Chains A and B, each alone.
Chain A
Amino acid sequence: MTTPKISLRDITKRFDAITVLDAVSLDIESGSVVSIIGPSGSGKSTLLRCINLLEHIDDGELLLDGTDISIPGFDPNTVRRRIGMVFQSYNLFPHMSVLDNITLALRRVLGLSRVIAQDRARELLTRFALDDKENAFPDQMSGGQQQRAAIARAVAMEPEVLLLDEITSALDPELVGEVLDVVRELRSTGMTIVLATHEMGFARDTSDLVCVLDGGRIIESGSPAQVFGAPQQERTQQFLQRVINAGRL
């Protein structure tokens, strides 16, 4: 058996007295797409932030290619170079053009020259249908365009894993499709993707593994067919029923 790209072992995270993640264990295989679904406040975002070391975990281990990256003193910047992240509210840098947003880390973290960084950025902008937006500032673009630019910014670093944190939740319904198309395209290149999402249809159609998070625990996980078709846990059934009632599946 090959080593998983990322292994979570009994990850526990508390904010003061509240346990947000309660001994979460999960193996993410290289090249797979893993969807984390579950009610609001179940810990989906925190889980992704822990994987990117944006949150300090209180217990457990986090392995990247079999190496423990959660030990104290481990340089988080080397990890983040290999794990990209896209956020719900895009988090583009508002004082920079789209091109500068993408090239900043290429130049300052990877040390690429301006010319090479811009070439790489333009290539991605073309790929994500943003060719005419390189000089636009984030506030001048639609939400869908901003999110595609934010994905381009993360993908430009050529990460081994991409974490997508509810990337369509802030978008108008008609803009969701264009962003999900970009994710489908990334999946076809073999990138390992972990997404927290409320887009159940998308999770069902594109995931290799679906995990249901509830109260900080993974209560159920399996193939989309298993989780959506024949959920074993009562809580999962209730959650999916609510989603169906809301017209979201």
Chain B
Amino acid sequence: MTPGSLSRRQIFERAQRRKSAVIATASSAIVIALIVALVPKMPRWDRVRTSFFNAERFRDSFPRLLHAFILDIKIFSWSVPFIVALALLVAITRNSRSPALLPLRVAAIVYTDIMRGVPVLLWIYLIGFGVPGLGMDRPWNSPLLWGSVALVLTYAAYVAEVFRAGIEGVHESQRAAARSLGLSNMQSLRFVVLPQAIRRVIPPLMNDLVSLQKDVALVSLIGPVEILRQAGIDKSKFANFTPYLAAAAIFLLLTIPLTRTTDWLLERERRRTSATRVR
């Protein structure tokens, strides 16, 4: 076989690949055609179309919702660093081995159990209404602040469990190797265990962050006008549900690129550090 020409095996495999591509395209086309053909046959399709798929309402609401979404992004952005920091602290505490730290370990366990055992919405009500009720001066009475605190406290508990699983997943022999070189416990954790643990938990971590991105909307229930609230206002004003659809589209505009990018980064990292992949 001369370089550049294809072997019989390569020609065969190329034909196989084309065949699968054709099948995939055809099956997708059939499913879409069925939906387009059947849904309009439903008895009340006309009503649903005007109240959910109203192009004019969509165009009108979209910029307002996008503007309101800035608040969601703000809450998300300032919450994430605190969530990650607190979660790491809790996870490291739970994984500590010194007998002297037992009270802290117990506190970390109680914290994760309590925060994860109660719905996020309930924490937002309890902290978001409760703490401003103490009558502190501005800005310490802002529902926005305490709503964010509620999100941070609950999500840190979930994320802490993700980190803990990652830390425990790093084989003990890695710690032994690090300690045998004279690295202290904290150095072993920082340079050897955590970098490996965090790489491994990035997919579940992203899962939690996408959840958070959506749960930010719950803060609207204690006051702040963010995208979900704004969509509700628009819905009431025009007696039309299309703003909700527009809000859903805006959420997707953010979350889908976020998850795709993470997957791409992980894949690149995997290629860089590992051996050839099995088929």
A residues neighboring B (CB under 8 Å): 49, 52, 54, 76-78, 80-81, 84-85, 87, 89, 91-95, 104-105, 108-109, 137, 139-140, 150, 153-154, 157
A-B interface, 7 closest residue pairs, ranked by CB to CB distance from nearest: A91-B177, A105-B181, A85-B180, A81-B182, A109-B182, A80-B182, A137-B273
Complex partner residue of A108 from B176, B187, B196, CB under 8 angstroms: B187
The CA of A13 and the CA of B177, in the complex, are separated in Å by 21
- Evaluate contact between B180 and A52: CB separation under 8 angstroms: yes
Q: How far is the CB of B158 from chain A (nearest CB, A)?
A: 25
Q: Whole-angstrom distance from the CB of B75 to the nearest CB of chain A?
A: 33
Query: Which of A52, A80, A154 counts the most B-chain CB atoms under 10 A from its CB?
Result: A80
**B183 touches which of A49, A84, A87, A109 (Cβ 8 Å):** A109
Contact flags B12-51 to A (C-beta < 8 A → 1, else 0): 0000000000000000000000000000000000000000
B residues less than 8 Å from A54 (CB atoms)? 176, 179-180
Given contacts A95-B196, A139-B274, contact A105 B182 (CB under 8 A): yes
Per the bound structure, the CA–CA distance linking A139 and B272 in Å amounts to 10
Q: Which residues of B contact A (CB under 8 A)?
A: 173-174, 176-184, 187, 191-192, 195-196, 199, 272-275
Contacting residues, chain B, for A150 (C-beta < 8 A)? 177
Is there an interface contact between B274 and A80, defined as CB atoms closer than 8 Å? no
Is there contact, CB below 8 Å, between A157 and B182?
yes
Taking CB atoms, residues of chain B closer than 8 Å to A49 are 176
- Taking a contact as CB atoms under 8 Å apart, the answer to whether A137 and B272 are in contact is yes
Distance A94 CA – B182 CA, assembled complex (angstroms): 19
CA gap between A196 and B133 in the complex, in Å = 68
Evaluate contact between B199 and A95: CB separation under 8 angstroms: yes
A93 lies within 8 A of B192 (CB): yes
Please name 19 pairs of A and B residues whose Cβ atoms are closer than 8 Å in the assembled complex, sorted by A.
A49-B176, A80-B182, A81-B182, A84-B181, A87-B180, A89-B173, A91-B173, A94-B273, A95-B195, A95-B196, A95-B273, A104-B181, A104-B191, A105-B181, A109-B181, A109-B182, A109-B187, A137-B272, A157-B181
Distance in angstroms between the alpha carbons of A154 and B181 in the assembled complex: 7
A94 and B196: CB pair below 8 A?
yes
Q: Using Cβ atoms and an 8 Å threshold, which residues of chain A touch B274? A: 137, 139-140
Q: How far is the CA of A76 from the CA of B188 in the complex (A)?
A: 14
A42 to B63 CA separation, bound complex (whole angstroms):
74
Partner of A93, one of B177, B182, B272, B275: B177
Which residues on A sit within 8 Å (CB–CB) of B180? 52, 54, 80, 84-85, 87, 154
* Other A-B pairs beyond A93-B174, A137-B272, 8, CB < 8 Å: A54-B180, A81-B182, A87-B176, A89-B173, A93-B177, A93-B178, A104-B191, A105-B183
**Chain A residues near B177 (CB, 8 Å)?**
85, 87, 91-93, 150
Bound CA span A95–B269, Å: 10
